[in-house]
Amino acid sequence: APRAAPRAAPRRLRATVSGPAMGAGRTRRATGRLDGMIRAVYPGSFDPLHNGHLDVIKRAARIFDHLTVAVLHNRLKPTTLFDIEERLEILRASLEGLPNVEVASFEGLLVDFCRRSGARVIVRGLRAISDYEAELQVAHLNRQMHPGVETLFVMTATRWSFVSSTRIKEIAQLGADVAKLVPKPALDRLIERFGPPRV
């Protein structure tokens, strides 16, 4: 049987930068990391995780060496249906088996989280033009606050392009079956909250 090709390392961004800060003879990869890993962050509320998110996560995990799914924990405005622990739990259970993906929560500015975690890339999914304006604004502001960070947009898979956590919560609360739109750990929590589907 054909075997999967081993992942080449070090990889992809091979450009190196050198400067006084690095000391004589030392170079550092353009990622800013001495280990040469390209780390990306996929941030969001994930209230709850749905199949559109999952598709973006799997695709981003194939591009980057390491992906952190970063869940916003907004203590000042706790307006989510699921608390931070529940949202993290759904993600952890749904992402088992993706070895280069980890789940974390963050408070405050996303760019500060990127600095702390050594990520140079922010991944966001774009469903339609309606997402674009707000995303563009945030991406510009994030880059102004942290010029080292690059926002990359992933076009949402066609089949999930109409899915949003807000709509899922709305229809699940009203008795619709959302089993085809969310992974099982999210479905279980929604049923726990709203009861089994009635239609």
Q: Which residues bind ligand PNS (CB under 6 A)?
A: 43-45, 72, 109-110, 138, 141-142
Catalytic residue (one of 50, 53, 87, 189): 53
Shortest approach of ligand PNS to residue 116 CB, angstroms? 13
> Cα–Cα–Cα angle for 48, 42, 56, nearest 5°?
75
Give the residue with the Cβ less far from ligand PNS, 101 or 110: 110
Closest CA to 176 of 153, 197, 157, 145: 197
Q: Are 50 and 186 in contact (CB under 8 A)?
A: yes
Provide the β-strand partners of residue 154.
Answer: 125
Shortest approach of ligand PNS to residue 38 CB, angstroms? 20
Give the residue with the Cβ less far from ligand PNS, 11 or 92: 92
Would you call 127 a catalytic residue per the annotation?
Answer: yes
Catalytic residue (one of 3, 7, 75, 77): 77
CA distances (Å), 18 to each of 13, 21, 32, 118, 134, in order?
15, 8, 11, 18, 36
Shortest approach of ligand PNS to residue 117 CB, angstroms? 13
Catalytic residue (one of 28, 59, 127, 146): 127
Shortest approach of ligand PNS to residue 31 CB, angstroms? 21
Would you call 165 a catalytic residue per the annotation?
Answer: yes
Q: What tokens does 75 get?
A: 């203590």
Q: Please state whether beta strands 121-126 and 39-44 pair in parallel, antiparallel, or not at all (unpaired).
A: parallel
Q: Which residue is nearest to ligand PNS (CB)?
A: 44
Closest CA to 48 of 176, 157, 172, 151: 172
How far is it, in rounded angstroms, from Cα 160 to Cα 151?
Answer: 21
Give the residue with the Cβ less far from ligand PNS, 45 or 177: 45
Give the residue with the Cβ less far from ligand PNS, 9 or 141: 141
Catalytic residue (one of 120, 165, 169, 189): 165
Which residues are tagged catalytic? 53, 77, 127, 165
